[in-house]
């Protein structure tokens, strides 16, 4: 026996015109498969529609509010971790591409030699700088040295003071923010 389009009429829940309804009713009288399908679907639908809305246990919104701080912190940690993963990935990619570009051209010994050469160059540069500074200090008159050290220490103190104030203001702002919460 053909069940189309009756199955669709039963399951799609589309409004039927008079002819279709009459046709379906006649079919249902003779077809136990479609009759079963209709009864089963109507029973399920009735069960679904009679099931009440499930309520959360009391204090749901308070629990949500209480978890907010932890969720924010976890989110910040996750974001920070993500940033570090990005930085590490970029660094690894750069190193890998440099290695791919340069390693086939130079031998390992050459790499070692250039590292040692760079270190030697760096230390000789530092010692030349030290010599230059001590030479300048010997030629400058003593009162200039005193004046410049006073100016330098004043500048340093002002910088430290301003830095301290901004740290204090930032920490105060944070405390007020959490108090408001």
Contacts with another protein, residue ranges (CB under 8 A):
7-8, 11-13, 36-37, 39-41, 43-49, 51-57, 60-61, 63-65, 67-68, 71, 75, 181
Whole-angstrom Cα distance, residue 35 to residue 7? Answer: 10
In the bound state with another protein, the residue whose beta carbon lies nearer, of 17 and 181, is 181
In the bound state with another protein, the residue whose beta carbon lies nearer, of 56 and 142, is 56
Q: Cβ of residue 132: shortest distance to another protein, in angstroms?
A: 56
Whole-angstrom Cα distance, residue 26 to residue 53? Answer: 38
Whole-angstrom Cα distance, residue 136 to residue 134? Answer: 5
Q: Cβ of residue 70: shortest distance to another protein, in angstroms?
A: 10
Counting Cα atoms < 13 Å in the Cβ hemisphere of 170 gives: 6
Three-state secondary structure readout of 143-163: HHHHHHHHHHHHHHHHHHHHH
Q: Cβ of residue 63: shortest distance to another protein, in angstroms?
A: 7
In the bound state with another protein, the residue whose beta carbon lies nearer, of 52 and 142, is 52
Q: Cβ of residue 9: shortest distance to another protein, in angstroms?
A: 11
Give the contacts of 175 (CB within 8 A, at least 6 positions apart).
none
In the bound state with another protein, the residue whose beta carbon lies nearer, of 67 and 159, is 67
Q: Cβ of residue 1: shortest distance to another protein, in angstroms?
A: 17
In the bound state with another protein, the residue whose beta carbon lies nearer, of 65 and 131, is 65
Q: Which residue has the tokens 């279709």?
A: 20
Whole-angstrom Cα distance, residue 65 to residue 150? Answer: 55
């Amino acid at each position: 026996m053909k069940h189309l389009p009756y199955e669709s009429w039963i399951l799609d829940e589309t409004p039927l015109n008079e002819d279709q309804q009459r046709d379906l009713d006649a079919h249902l009288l003779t077809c136990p498969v479609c009759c079963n399908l209709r009864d089963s679907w109507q029973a399920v639908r009735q069960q679904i529609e009679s099931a009440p809305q499930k309520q959360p246990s009391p204090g749901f919104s308070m629990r949500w509010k209480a978890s907010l701080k932890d969720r924010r912190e976890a989110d910040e940690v996750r974001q920070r971790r993500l940033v570090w993963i990005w930085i590490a990935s970029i660094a690894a990619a750069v190193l890998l591409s440099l290695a791919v570009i340069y390693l086939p051209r130079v031998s390992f010994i050459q790499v070692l030699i250039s590292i040692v050469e760079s270190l030697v160059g760096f230390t000789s540069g530092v010692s030349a700088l030290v010599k230059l500074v001590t030479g300048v200090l010997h030629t400058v008159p003593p009162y200039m040295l005193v004046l410049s050290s006073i100016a330098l220490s004043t500048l340093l103190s002002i910088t430290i003071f301003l830095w301290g104030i901004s740290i204090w203001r930032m920490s105060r702002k944070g405390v007020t923010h959490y108090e408001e919460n």
